[in-house]
A and B are shown apart, each in its own frame.
Chain A
Amino acid sequence: MRFVIRTVAISLLAGWLAACSEAPKEPEVVVYTSRKDHLIRPVFDLYTRETGVKVRYTTDDDGALITRLAAEGKNSPADLLITVDAGNLWQATQQGLFQPVESEVLSTNVPANLRDTDNHWFGQTVRARTLVYSAERVKPEDLSSYEALAEPQWQGRLCLRTSKKVYNQSLVATLIERHGEEQAEQVVRGWVANLATDVFSNDTALMEAIAAGQCDVGIVNTYYFGRLISDKPTLPLALFWANQDSSGVHVNISGIGLTAHAPHRDEAIRLMEWMSSEVPQHMLAEQNLEYPVNPQVEPTELVKGWGEFRADDLNVSIAGARQVQAVKLMDRAGYR
């Protein structure tokens, strides 16, 4: 008995070690992504069909993936990290997890404020976070800016998503950058005072609450609006482009960076470049109703229907640089 167990154990161990150390035969790229499976797989599948290069990937939250990359160090199998906000790209850069990529293609396809100044990461899609309001109870001319939602006329009429979501942390980070910490805190305190109900855990639930009459106005990413409106076209909701007379609509990106120890460096750069080109850009944007980062590529018809807007031209890395400050500010202001 003991002999059998020992034999089995040893052969299992040997097999496992052999399996682990087996060198990959076909060309491949390994990706850690917080962009979810159903929003990224079609693009990777297309790449594999076109080039024969296999893309292996795993999904998780940004923070978890960054921690994993850092812990694995130069043993990491990952070539690329895709995150869904700029703050986490900035953070990965701070931790030295990326290496710069000098690429003519990427520099042409990705506007300067949507990539790292030292080319550690590049935006892939643009996500606009703006105001959504009840078409029944709010006149669009009453709306103007994020800051104005702190005014007393919105008392008991505002819905917000939790401050734990990085999108709100990035928004407040840009407020701090524009106005300074003190004034930004005034704005956030004003928001909290105007809340109609406890903050929500996601944008979709927030918009449903506006439609149901629990509150009148909120701040959401436009693709959540697009998804909800596609599912339920009759909801009395509309988008308003915020801060058109001042800083512009707050935008964030989903983006990509080459890891510091990428085992398949050249293949990975080819994938990055390809993803900034027309067809995949269109796919990425279409999958999730976002805006392509490549200015040559148009968003989908539904998204175009929301109209043109002026976007905030701050470099999106501000979201990372001021994230800690923003989280602390929101804690102080009682924004849960």
Chain B
Amino acid sequence: MHLFVESGLSSLALTLARLRPSRLDSLTVVALLLAAAVLLPIAVLGLSWLGDESEVWRHLADTVLASLLGNTLLLLVGVGAGVLVLGVSLAWLTATTEFPGRKFFDWALLLPLAVPAYVLAFVALDLLDYAGPVQTALRGWLPAFRGVSARQPVVVIITLSLVFYPYVYMLARVAFLAQGRALMEQARILGLSPLAAFWRVALPMARPAIAAGLALALMETLADFGAVSVFNYDTFTTAIYKSWYGFYNLNAAAQLASLLLLFVLVSLFVERAGRGRARYEQQTARRLKRVVPGPLKRWLLFSYAAAVFLIAFAIPLGRLLFWVIHTGARDFDPRYWGLVSHTLLLGAGAALVTVLVAIFLGYVKRTRNHWLTSAAVRGATIGYAMPGSVLAVGIMLSFAAIDRWLDAQLGNGSIMVGGLFALVLAYAVRFLAVAYGPLEAAFERIRPRLLEAARTLGATPAEIVRRVWLPLLTPGVLSALLLVLIDVMKEMPATLLLRPFGWDTLAVRIFEMTSEGEWSRAALPALTLVIVGLLPVYLLMKRTR
């Protein structure tokens, strides 16, 4: 706790703290209650430690645990490196240079965000495995080629990197654009080469944004079960599922899941601490003028961007389309529109709720420099790293307990579980981090001096909200809404477990087909899901262009 105090003090809000003495006022209390509600399902998992599951632990430790941890670490390092290289390089190139197709790639490179990891996984494996078209063709041409298994760590890492790099790309790009021309000009005037200016000025300045993107990508990686299980690549989540489905031991599964969260919490804290006292205030940037490289370099850049776009988006989409045309379309009937509308409704509703909660938490944290709020906000955003179904179970268990209590009080206890509210809460818990990321960045842009100035000039609180907070927050709010919308539409395990009767979504249908091994029939809902997701992704990009 001492550490939290320190980091709280070292934060940007230092100046604000002087204006408002830190104390527990009503808004802070409400924020704490909200954070507590979000944390409740997670805390329920902590209760699992009351049980003694040493037998499961001993078995895991004796057999698979070491390799699971090794695999998980390898995946984190690999995907981390992958999304950094892809995300930062592409963001830098599209933000600062001019090359053929740049305007298209600006937003097209974000499109893989609309592809769920589990979809890219089964498409990639279908294309690349021994029996798939690529290797079959290769064996035809090259008699010496014997064929290999595509179910290998490197393929898993590449697949997840291609799905998750847009988080880094998007946030880093916004940061690079915001740096504008002046910063790079000053760096160059001080004698740095363009490359050195990138490494020593632009990159460190964009660090909070890049770190936020990386954190999202890595938390998604840790929480992923769908994609890794397509490759049968065993990670820590595999142990969670093994305990739950294989040993029927929910308690042990919950213990494992809470360890996973502890790991995330520590990692996030280390990153924060590493940022230390650095401040990231920026001048309002003059609009950036893009560098125009020579023709060879221009086309190289084009090829790079095009390759990423093709591999991460166009080819998988083509494969889905091929399937739909050949077999998958037989599942199309009028009920299908129900799936689409449920997907959109849930996405929109959950996005609204999640972002409202995130705004409130962000506001309270920004204006009330109480270490408790910082800690609560930190804690409330770790749901993202939790495998969706584990989180869903946490929510279900807490709601079932509430139902039992209501049953005892009112004689009617089937209110929470199986209702829309439970599902929306699950989404909010899971995706609060996604909403909070862009909002936090937006809140950080509201420089203390700006508020001081407004105050000095005699602005009323209402005016400050309208003329300072709102304009500066709106971009962040929109980003947060769209991101959560996209994520909710792709979400599978919590939707499965908590959806009310009849609320089947596209993701549910994909699950039903893939779990029967019918990849070609999963293509129709998968393709629809990607197409439905394109609009928010496009809007997301349009805002930052």
User: A residues bordering B, Cβ < 8 Å?
Assistant: 16-17, 20-21, 30, 36-39, 56-64, 67-68, 71-77, 91, 162, 164, 166, 169, 197-205, 208-209, 211-214, 224, 227, 231, 323-324, 327-328, 331-332, 336
Contacts and interface: CB of A to CB of B under 8 A. Distances in A.
Nearest to B407: A75
18 contacts: A16-B421, A20-B415, A38-B331, A64-B393, A71-B400, A72-B403, A72-B417, A73-B404, A74-B407, A198-B152, A201-B229, A205-B125, A205-B126, A205-B131, A205-B517, A212-B136, A214-B131, A231-B327
B245 to A, nearest CB: 4
B46 interface: no
Given A16-B421, A214-B147, A205 B129 contact: yes
B415 A36 contact: no
B52 interface: no
Nearest to A91: B248
Nearest to A210: B131
Interface string B126-143: 100111000010000000
Nearest to A228: B517
A61 B404 CA distance: 24
B512 A200 contact: no
B501 A211 contact: no
A57 B238 CA distance: 28
B397 interface: yes
A65 to B, nearest CB: 8
Contacts of A59: 496, 504, 508, 512
A3 B389 CA distance: 38
Nearest to B398: A71
A331 to B, nearest CB: 4
Contacts, number: 147
Given A64-B389, A324-B246, A336 B234 contact: yes
A291 to B, nearest CB: 17
A230 to B, nearest CB: 11
B414 A75 contact: yes
Interface string B16-42: 000000000000000000000000000
B515 interface: yes
B428 to A, nearest CB: 16
Given A60-B496, A75-B407, A331-B63, A209 B131 contact: yes
Nearest to A56: B501
A325 to B, nearest CB: 10
A201 B231 contact: yes
B312 to A, nearest CB: 22
A76 B149 CA distance: 45
Interface in B344-395: 389, 392-393
B53 to A, nearest CB: 13
A299 to B, nearest CB: 19
Contacts of B504: 37, 59
A163 B508 CA distance: 24
A58 B499 CA distance: 8
Contacts of A62: 245
Nearest to B412: A21
Given A17-B415, A164-B238, A336 B421 contact: no
**The 3 A-B residue pairs with the shortest CB-CB distance in the complex, in nearest-first order:** A202-B517, A212-B131, A71-B400
A73 B232 contact: no
Given A197-B130, A212-B136, A68 B232 contact: no
B515 A36 contact: yes
Contacts of B412: 20-21
A204 B517 contact: yes
A331 B512 CA distance: 27
Contacts of B418: 72, 77
A198 B415 CA distance: 46
Contacts of B496: 59-61, 64
B315 interface: no
A94 to B, nearest CB: 8
Interface string B219-242: 000000000011110100010011
Contacts of A202: 517
A336 B232 contact: yes
Interface string B399-417: 0100110010000111101
Contacts of B246: 164, 169, 323-324, 327
A198 B151 contact: yes
A327 B149 contact: no
B73 interface: no
A60 B419 contact: no
Given A20-B419, A60-B496, A67-B393, A324 B248 contact: yes
Contacts of B512: 36-38, 59
A21 B411 CA distance: 11
Contact of A328 (B59, B248, B417, B499): B59
B400 A63 contact: no
A134 to B, nearest CB: 12
Contact of A164 (B126, B242, B331): B242
Most chain A C-beta atoms within 10 Å of own C-beta, residue among B327, B392, B502, B512: B512
A63 B244 contact: yes
Most chain A C-beta atoms within 10 Å of own C-beta, residue among B152, B412, B515: B515
Contact of B502 (A21, A38, A56): A56
Contact of A76 (B414, B499, B516, B518): B414
Contacts of B62: 332
A63 B389 CA distance: 11
B183 interface: no
Contacts of B516: 36, 39
B276 to A, nearest CB: 41
B515 A197 contact: no
A169 B396 CA distance: 27
Nearest to A334: B63
B414 A30 contact: no
Nearest to A71: B400
Contacts of A76: 414
Contacts of A20: 412, 414-415, 419
Contacts of B59: 328, 331
Contacts of A68: 396, 417, 497
A73 B415 CA distance: 13
B47 to A, nearest CB: 13
A16 B502 CA distance: 17
Contacts of B250: 67
B247 interface: yes
A58 B242 contact: no
Interface in B467-500: 493, 496-497, 499
Contact of A331 (B64, B231, B404): B64
A213 B130 CA distance: 9
A77 B414 contact: yes
Contact of B400 (A57, A73, A208): A73
A168 B499 CA distance: 30
Most chain B C-beta atoms within 10 Å of own C-beta, residue among A75, A199, A200: A75
Given A199-B232, A209-B130, A214-B131, A60 B497 contact: yes
A231 B328 CA distance: 12
A327 B242 contact: yes
Contacts of B64: 331
Contact of B130 (A91, A212, A332): A212
Nearest to B413: A75
Interface string B53-66: 00000010011100
B509 interface: yes
Given A56-B502, A71-B400, A37 B509 contact: yes
Nearest to B495: A60
A144 B397 CA distance: 48
Contacts of B403: 72, 75
A109 B419 CA distance: 37
Nearest to B326: A231
Contacts of A72: 400, 403, 414, 417-418
